[in-house]
C-alpha cells in the first residue's frame, strides 16, 4: 500500500519565535494536518476500495453488475467516466472488452485481435502506461503501436495490466476527452495498484470459468459417451444394412449439424463404391454408384487413399458429383468423409454433410469417428450374416436338389423294376396264348379234315357204329368242371 505522508513540523530554533513566525508556523502545521487528513482519507478510501474488490472474490463468475461495481470503486479514486475492463485470451489471440462505459454513446464493447494497438502495448509490455495524445502520436510514428480504427481523440489515457501469478489476464483503461482532466503519475500508480488486486479477482473468475467449462465439457463428454454407447448398441444389434444406415443417420442427426448423410459400400466385384443409402434434405437416393477410378468423387478419393477427408467451403465440394435423383436445395459447404474399416479391411465410406460453413469441429469429428467405428463393425457383421445366410440358403437348395434327385432315382428304380415285372408277366401271358393259338390252329385243321371226311365215314359205318359214334360226340360235348392246381395234385397223389 502506498505509504501515507507524514506531517511536516516546524524546526526548533534557539530564539523565541515572533508573532509573525508563530502565524507562519501555525499555517504550515494546519496545511500539514490538512494534507495528512487528506492522505488518511485517501488511504481509508483505498482500503475500503480494496475491501470491496476483495468481496467480489466470493462470486464464481463475473456478471455485468460486478464489472459495474469495479467501475464505481475506481470512480471514487479518480476520474473514470470513460472506463474499460478487457480480458486477454492468449490461446485464441483475442482481446475482449467485457465492460465499457464511455461518454460517447456510440462506443460499444468489442473484441479484436491481439496485435500492435494501444491495449496490446500494455499487455505486451506488462507495464502500466500513462499517455497523452502527443506520446500516442510519437509511438505511432516510431512504429511501436498502430493507430486504432477511427480517431484517437483522448486527452489523457491510462492503462494498467491485470497480472496475477505471472499471467496477464487483461487490462483496465481509464481515459479523458476533456483538456481539464489530465492524469498524473500518482494516479497511474494508484490505478496499477488497484489493477493488481482486481487481477486476483479476475484470475479467480477465470479459474472458475475454466473449471465450469471443464465441468460442462466433462458432462458433455459423459453424455456423448452415453450416446455413443447407445449408438453402438443400436447399430450392432441389427444385421440389416438399411436398418443400420437409418439408425446411424438418426443418431448422427441428433449430435451433429447434418443436411446430408450417406453410406457407400464396396461392390461384390470390388471395382466400385455403391451408395446403399444416401439422404439429403429428407430425400433418399440409393441408386448411385462410382467406379474406383472416378476423378471427382470424394467418397472414392477417401476410399482409395484410406484417409479421413474434411472439407469446408472447398472447390472440391463444388466439383464433386451429386446424387442421381436429388436436386440440391442449397450448396454443401461442410463435409466429412471417413473410411469404414472392419478387421483391417476397407469395406466402404460414410459421409456427413451440412449447408453450414465450418460446421464440424474437433468434438464433432471425434463423435463422428466413434460412430463410424461402430457402423463399420455393424456393417461387417451384416455382410457376414448375409454371406452366411446365402450359404445356408445355397446349402438348403443343394440338399433339396439332392432329396429330389434321390426321389427321382428311387422312382426310376421302381419304374425299372415295374418294367421288368411287366415284361415278365407279358412273357408269361404270351407263352400260353401262343400255345393256345397253335393248338387252335391244329384243332381247326383237324376239325376241317374230320368234317370233310365225316360223310364218307358215316356211309361206311353200320347203324350200330353210327349210334356209338353219336354217343361219343354227345359225351365229348358235355362240360366238366375245371380243377385247380391243388385239386390236380390231389388226384395225382
Q: Could you please report the per-residue DSSP string of 254-294?
A: HHS--SEEEEEEE-TTSSEEEEEEEEETTEE----EEETT-
For the chain, which domains are there? 59-211 (3.30.450.40), 238-390 (3.30.450.40)
pLDDT at 410 over 90: no
User: 9 falls in which pLDDT band (50, 70, 90)?
Assistant: very low
* pLDDT, tens only, 224-256: 778 778 888 888 888 899 999 999 999 889 888
Handedness of CA 339, 342, 347, 351 (dihedral sign): negative
Beta bridge pairs of residue 275:
264
pLDDT above 70 for 285: yes
What is the average per-residue pLDDT within 78-88? Answer: 93
For strand 156-164 and strand 129-132, is the pairing parallel, antiparallel, or unpaired? antiparallel
**pLDDT of 324-369, one tens digit each?**
778 888 889 999 999 999 988 999 999 999 999 888 988 888 888 9
Task: Say whether pLDDT at 117 is over 60.
Answer: yes
Residue 28 has pLDDT above 50, yes or no: yes
| pLDDT band at 7; cut points 50, 70, 90 | very low
What percent of the chain has a predicted confidence (pLDDT) above 90?
A: 28
Q: How far is it, in rounded angstroms, from Cα 84 to Cα 297?
A: 53
Question: ∠ CA 90-96-102 to the nearest 5 degrees?
Answer: 150
For 289-328, b where at least 16 C-beta lie within 10 A, e where not — what string? bbeeebeebbbbbbbbeeeebebeebeebeebeebeebee
pLDDT of residue 60: 62
CA 187/CA 205 separation, integer angstroms: 26
Overall average pLDDT of the 161-187 stretch: 93
Looking at every residue in the chain, the average pLDDT score rounds to 83
Give the pLDDT mean for 278-288: 88
Q: With 80 as the cut, is the pLDDT of residue 174 above it?
A: yes
Cell 486477454 belongs to residue: 88
Query: Given this model, what pLDDT does residue 16 score?
Result: 57
Q: pLDDT for 359-407, tens place per residue?
A: 898 888 888 898 898 889 988 888 888 888 888 888 888 888 888 888 8
- Distance, in Å, from the CA atom of 231 to the CA atom of 175, rounded to the nearest integer, reads 57
DSSP bridge partners of 2: none
Confidence of residue 469 (pLDDT cuts 50, 70, 90): confident
Residue 337: partners with Cβ closer than 8 Å, 6 or more residues away = 298, 299, 301, 302, 308, 309, 310, 349, 350, 351
Contacts 24+ apart (CB under 8 A), 287-295: 287/324, 287/325, 288/323, 288/324, 290/264, 290/321, 294/321
pLDDT at 11: 46
Nearest to 234 by CA among 253, 222, 248: 248
**Phi first, then psi: what are they for 9, rounded to 5°?**
-100, 150
- What whole-number distance in Å separates Cα of residue 415 and Cα of residue 410? 8
Identify the band that residue 12 occupies on the pLDDT scale cut at 50, 70 and 90: very low
Q: Rounded to an integer, what distance in angstroms lies between the CA atom of residue 256 and that of residue 356?
A: 11
| 256 phi-psi bin (left φ>0, alpha ψ -120 to 50, beta other) | beta
pLDDT at 59: 66
Band of the pLDDT at 74, cuts 50, 70, 90? confident
**Per-residue pLDDT, 1:** 44
Q: Is the pLDDT of residue 87 over 50?
A: yes
pLDDT (0 to 100) of residue 8? 42
User: What confidence category does residue 170 fall into, taking pLDDT thresholds of 50, 70 and 90?
Assistant: very high
Which stretches of 60-184 are DSSP H helices?
A: 64-77, 118-125, 133-142
Mean pLDDT of 465-476: 77
- Residue 89 pLDDT greater than 80, yes or no: yes
SS3 226: helix
The string over 383-417, giving b where at least 16 C-beta atoms fall within 10 Å of a residue's C-beta and e elsewhere, is: beeeeeeeeeeeeeeeeeeeeeeeeeeeeeeeeee
CB 379 within 8 A of CB 263: yes
Whether pTM exceeds 0.95 = no
What residues contact residue 466 under an 8 Å CB cut-off, 6+ apart? 458
Which range has the worst mean pLDDT, 294-298, 419-423, 465-469, 480-484?
480-484
d(CA 362, CA 368): 10
pLDDT score recorded for residue 6: 39
For 155-218, give the DSSP string.
SEEEEEEEEETTEEEEEEEEEE-STT----HHHHHHHHHHHHHHHHHHHHHHHHHHHHHHHHHH
The predicted structure's pLDDT at residue 5: 37
Residue 300 has pLDDT above 60, yes or no: yes
Question: What's the pLDDT tens digit per position in 422-456?
Answer: 887 777 777 777 777 777 777 777 777 776 777 77
φ, ψ for residue 147 (rounded to 5)?
-65, 140
Ordered strands of the 94-101 beta sheet: 111-113, 94-101, 82-89, 167-176, 156-164, 129-132
- pLDDT in the model for residue 84: 94
What pLDDT band is residue 4 in, cutting at 50, 70 and 90?
very low
Please say whether the beta carbons of 9 and 36 come within 8 A. Answer: no
pLDDT tier, 171 (very low <50, low <70, confident <90, very high otherwise): very high
Amino acid at each position: 500500500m502506498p505509504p501515507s505522508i507524514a506531517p511536516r513540523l516546524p524546526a526548533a530554533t534557539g530564539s523565541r519565535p515572533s508573532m509573525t513566525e508563530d502565524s507562519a508556523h501555525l499555517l504550515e502545521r494546519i496545511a500539514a494536518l490538512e494534507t495528512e487528513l487528506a492522505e488518511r482519507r485517501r488511504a481509508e478510501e483505498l482500503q475500503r476500495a480494496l475491501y470491496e474488490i476483495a468481496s467480489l472474490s466470493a462470486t464464481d463468475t463475473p456478471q455485468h453488475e460486478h464489472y459495474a461495481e469495479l467501475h464505481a470503486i475506481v470512480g471514487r479514486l479518480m476520474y473514470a467516466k470513460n472506463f474499460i475492463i478487457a480480458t486477454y485470451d492468449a490461446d485464441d489471440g483475442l482481446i475482449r472488452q467485457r465492460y465499457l462505459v464511455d461518454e460517447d454513446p456510440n462506443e460499444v464493447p468489442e473484441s479484436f485481435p491481439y496485435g500492435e494497438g494501444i491495449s496490446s502495448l500494455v499487455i505486451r509490455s506488462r507495464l502500466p502506461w500513462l499517455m497523452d495524445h502527443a506520446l500516442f502520436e510519437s509511438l505511432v510514428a516510431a512504429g511501436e503501436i498502430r493507430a486504432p480504427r477511427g480517431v484517437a481523440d483522448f486527452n489523457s489515457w491510462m492503462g494498467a495490466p491485470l497480472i496475477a501469478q505471472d499471467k496477464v489476464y487483461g487490462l483496465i483503461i481509464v481515459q479523458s476527452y476533456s483538456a481539464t482532466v489530465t492524469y498524473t503519475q500518482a494516479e497511474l500508480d494508484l490505478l496499477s495498484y488497484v489493477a493488481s488486486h482486481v487481477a486476483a479477482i479476475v484470475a479467480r473468475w477465470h479459474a472458475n470459468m475454466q473449471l465450469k467449462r471443464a465441468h460442462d465439457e466433462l458432462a458433455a463428454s459423459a453424455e456423448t459417451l452415453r450416446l455413443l454407447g447407445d449408438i453402438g448398441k443400436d447399430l450392432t444389434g441389427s444385421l440389416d444394412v438399411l436398418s443400420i444406415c437409418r439408425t446411424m443417420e438418426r443418431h448422427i442427426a441428433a449430435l451433429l449439424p447434418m443436411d446430408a448423410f450417406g453410406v457407400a459400400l464396396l461392390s461384390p466385384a470390388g471395382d466400385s463404391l455403391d451408395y446403399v443409402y444416401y439422404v439429403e434434405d429428407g430425400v433418399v437416393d440409393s441408386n448411385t454408384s462410382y467406379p474406383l477410378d472416378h476423378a471427382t468423387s470424394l467418397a472414392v478419393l477417401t476410399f482409395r487413399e484410406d484417409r479421413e477427408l474434411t472439407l469446408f467451403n472447398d472447390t472440391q465440394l463444388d466439383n464433386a458429383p451429386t446424387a442421381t435423383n436429388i436436386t440440391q436445395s442449397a450448396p454443401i459447404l461442410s463435409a466429412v468423409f471417413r473410411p469404414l474399416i472392419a478387421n483391417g479391411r476397407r469395406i466402404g465410406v460414410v459421409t456427413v454433410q451440412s449447408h453450414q460453413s465450418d460446421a464440424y469441429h474437433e468434438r464433432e469429428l471425434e463423435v463422428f469417428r466413434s460412430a463410424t467405428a461402430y457402423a463399420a463393425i455393424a456393417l461387417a457383421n451384416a455382410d457376414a450374416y448375409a454371406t452366411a445366410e446365402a450359404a445356408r440358403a445355397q446349402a438348403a437348395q443343394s440338399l433339396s436338389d439332392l432329396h429330389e434327385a434321390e426321389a427321382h432315382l428311387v422312382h426310376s428304380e421302381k419304374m425299372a423294376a415295374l418294367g421288368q415285372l411287366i415284361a415278365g408277366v407279358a412273357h408269361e401271358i404270351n407263352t400260353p396264348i401262343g400255345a393256345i393259338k397253335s393248338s387252335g390252329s391244329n384243332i381247326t385243321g383237324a376239325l376241317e379234315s374230320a368234317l370233310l371226311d365225316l360223310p364218307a365215314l358215316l356211309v361206311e359205318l353200320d347203324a350200330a357204329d353210327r349210334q356209338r359214334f353219336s354217343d361219343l360226340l354227345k359225351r365229348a360235348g358235355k362240360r366238366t368242371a375245371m380243377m385247380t392246381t391243388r385239386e390236380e395234385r390231389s388226384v395225382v397223389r
